[in-house]
Amino acid sequence: MGAGKRSLTTVTMALACAAAILAAPGVAYAEPTPGPTPPRTPSSTPASTKDLEAIRKKLDKLYHDAAVATDAYNAAEEKTDKQSAQIVELARAIVQGQAKLDKLKDRAGAAARAQYRSGGLPPEAQLMLSGDPQEYLDGAGRVRQGERATKGMLAELARTQKDLKQYAKDASAQWQKLEANRKAKAEAKKKVTKQIAAAEKLESELEKDEKDRLAELEREAAAKAQTAWLDSGVLEDIKGEATAAGKKAVEYATEQMGKPYEWGAEGPKTYDCSGLTSQAWAAAGQAIPRTSQEQWKQLDRVDIKDMRPGDLIIYNSDASHVAMYIGDGAMIHAPRPGRTVTMAGAGSMPILGVVRPAA
C-alpha cells in the first residue's frame, strides 16, 4: 500500500491505543433534549457547568435539526437530478416520435394518392378491362399486399400518435414534480442554514475557556455513551471480517480523515455524513442511496452482533446520521459543521441499526 494510505489492519491496531480519539469533541449527537439556555454575551458572567450542559444539548438539537434538513435537501437534489434526466429522455423520445410520425404520414399520403390514380374501380370492372387475366391476378395479389401494408402502416401511425400523447403527458407530470422538488430543496436549504447559523451564533457568544469546557463536556458525553455500549459486552459478539469491497470502502473513508464537514457535500474536499459513506462505497464499486434515511430504508439490515467493517451504522431515531464501522468498536464519520471527518466510538451516539451495502 502506498505512502499516506492506511490499511484496515493498521487502523485496527491504531484503535487499540486510541481511546482518547474515540471520545473526540463533537463526534456525537445526543438525543435532542435541549434545556432552557439563558441569553448571554461574551462580556457576561462565565457560564456554570450546568449552563454549559444546557448549551451543549441545545447545540446538539440545532445540529441534529440541521442534519435532518440536510437529508431532505440531499434527497430533493437527487430527485431533481433524476427528473431532469427523465425529462431529457422524454424530450428525445418526443422528437424521435414526431419524426417517425411525419414519415408515416408521408407514406400514408403516397398510398392514398396511388389509390386515387387507380380510379378506385371494383375488382369486376378491373377484370373486364384487363386484356390478360393472369396480369389481372398478379395485380390483384399486389393490391392485397398493398392493402395489408397500408393497414399495418395506419396501425403504426395510430400507435405513434398515442405514444407521443403519452410522452407529452409524462413530460408535463415530470415538470410538475421537478418544480415541487426544487421548492422542497430550497426550503430545506433555508432550514439548514438557519439551524447552523443559530448554532454558530450560540457558540460565538462563549468565551474561549467556556468553549474549551464545552468541548470537554462533549468528550465526556461521547465517552460515557461509548463506555456504556462497550460495557454491554457487544464487542464479544462482533467478529465479522470485512469483504474485499468493505476493505476498499473503509480505506477510502480512512483517507478522508481530517477533511471538513460541509452539508450537502460529497467530496473530494468536504463531506457530509451520507456523502462520505455513499462515496466510500462508490469507490468500492457499489452505488448506494445518497441520504442516511434512504440508506436505512433501502439497504439490507443486519444485527449489531453480525456487524463487520464497511457496514453502515445509522444513528438517531429518525436516521438522521450515518457512519462507517471500521472494526474494534470504532467508526469513521463526518460529524457536523465545524468538525472534520474523524474516528469515533461506534456507540458514542444512539444507534438505530446497521445496514450492509454489500450484496
d(CA 275, CA 312) in angstroms, rounded, equals 12
d(CA 13, CA 128) in angstroms, rounded, equals 102
Tell me, yes or no, if 64 is annotated catalytic: no
> Among residues 321, 323, 332, 337, which one is catalytic?
321
For residue 266, what is the DSSP state?
B
d(CA 295, CA 277) in angstroms, rounded, equals 10
> Among residues 57, 308, 333, 336, which one is catalytic?
333
What b/e string do you get for 185-212 counting C-beta neighbours within 10 Å, with b at 16 or more? beebbebbeebbebbeebeebbeeebee
Contact yes or no for 155/145 (Cβ under 8 A): no
> Among residues 52, 223, 273, 324, which one is catalytic?
273
Three-class secondary structure assignment of 282-319: HHCCCCCCCCHHHHHHHCEEECHHHCCCCCEEEECCCC
| Separation in Å, CA 178 to CA 70, 71, 253, 258, 329 | 19, 18, 33, 36, 42
Residues carrying an active site annotation: 273, 321, 333
